[in-house]
């Protein structure tokens, strides 16, 4: 593995923390990593277009049923856990969303899939008035300023929404965990199948090593994390990493795969995504 590998992931602290060692050439035997930073809505679209410009992508688990013919899910590197679900925020408490405008970060995101499953169970009639897609960092200001009735937020917004005077209407993760008992699948690392099984296994090894190196020496990644953290407070960045980088990042394991299958099977049963093939999640 000596050729350069092209990857696109978000500038969020969990991704920069995970990939810092590999991106800076500290993972023994791994190829050079050519990083492009992109919002999750963009990387989802790249995967759906089968754009050969990237070997690896960080995408939403919700997009997997559409792309797994051409991409393999890596068993590591992604975001999956407990107590880390997306939130629905409003300016006033206890808002009925059945006729409201709701901002979401992407209609192909796992956050939006969890939101639709939650709405089907809890919103009268099972739906909201209108969905508006906007970059996630614009959602809380839009709710605060009354441009939108509610917002579905992800990432560090869990720790900062009160700074905007907003109320938590619901936690998509709490609903998911209460109804399934499973952890919450959020973001996945996928790789092009046409690169071959040997190369994909090498990528997985590099990701695992990069994660473990970040855990072993967290200060080594600090500059890279903060450089791309969009003026985030360092304490919030640490909370973000602590929540989204966990044992499932190093290896999905049985619970991780059960959560992914559970989410996508339930979503398929609701007609929200295509059904997965039985071996779709198998890794080379």
Contact status, residue 186 vs residue 78, Cβ threshold 8 Å: yes
User: Is residue 60 annotated as involved in ligand binding?
Assistant: yes
The span from the CA of 118 to the CA of 86, in Å, is 11
User: Is residue 199 annotated as involved in ligand binding?
Assistant: no
The span from the CA of 222 to the CA of 241, in Å, is 11
CA angle 229, 211, 236 (to 5 degrees): 30
User: Is residue 147 annotated as involved in ligand binding?
Assistant: no
- 177-210 in b/e form (b: 16+ CB < 10 A) is beeeebbbbbbbbbbbeebeeebbebbbebbbbb
Is 137 known to be catalytic?
no
Pairing of strands 101-104, 56-60: unpaired
Residue 50 gets which letter from DSSP? Answer: T
Q: What are the tokens at 87?
A: 């939130």
Selected catalytic residue, list 24, 137, 155, 175 = 155
Which residues on adjacent β-strands are paired with residue 35? 7
Q: Where are the alpha helices (DSSP H) in the chain?
A: 13-23, 40-48, 64-67, 110-122, 136-144, 157-160, 172-180, 197-216, 222-227, 234-244, 247-250, 253-269
Residue found by looking up tokens 């990857």 in the block:
7
- Residues in the annotated binding site for substrate: 58-60, 110-111
- Residues in the annotated binding site: 58-60, 110-111
Return the active site residues. 155
């Amino acid at each position: 593995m000596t050729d350069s590998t092209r990857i696109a992931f978000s500038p969020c602290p969990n991704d920069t923390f995970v990939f810092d060692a590999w991106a800076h050439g500290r993972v023994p035997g791994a190829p050079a990593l050519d990083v492009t930073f992109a919002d999750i809505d963009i990387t989802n679209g790249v995967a759906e277009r089968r754009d050969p410009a990237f070997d690896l992508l960080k995408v939403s688990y919700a997009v997997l049923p559409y792309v797994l013919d051409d991409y393999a899910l890596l068993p590591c590197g992604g975001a999956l856990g407990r107590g880390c679900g997306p939130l629905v925020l409003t300016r006033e408490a206890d808002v009925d969303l059945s006729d409201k405008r709701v901002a979401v970060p992407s209609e192909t995101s796992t956050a939006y899939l969890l939101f639709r499953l939650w709405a089907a169970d809890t919103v009268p009639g099972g739906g909201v008035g209108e969905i508006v897609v906007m970059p996630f960092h614009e959602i809380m200001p839009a709710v605060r300023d009354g441009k939108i009735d509610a917002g579905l937020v992800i990432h560090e917004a869990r720790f900062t929404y009160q700074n905007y005077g907003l109320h938590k209407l619901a936690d998509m993760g709490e609903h998911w965990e209460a109804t399934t008992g499973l952890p919450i699948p959020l973001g996945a690392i996928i790789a092009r199948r046409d690169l071959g099984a040997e190369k994909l296994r090498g990528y997985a090894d590099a990701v695992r090593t990069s994660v473990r190196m970040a855990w072993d020496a967290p200060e080594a990644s600090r500059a890279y994390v903060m450089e791309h953290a969009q003026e985030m407070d360092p304490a919030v960045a640490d909370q973000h990493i602590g929540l989204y980088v966990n044992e499932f990042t190093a290896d999905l394991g049985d619970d991780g795969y059960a959560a992914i299958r559970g989410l996508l099977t339930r979503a398929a049963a609701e007609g929200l995504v295509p059904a997965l093939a039985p071996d779709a999640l198998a890794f080379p």
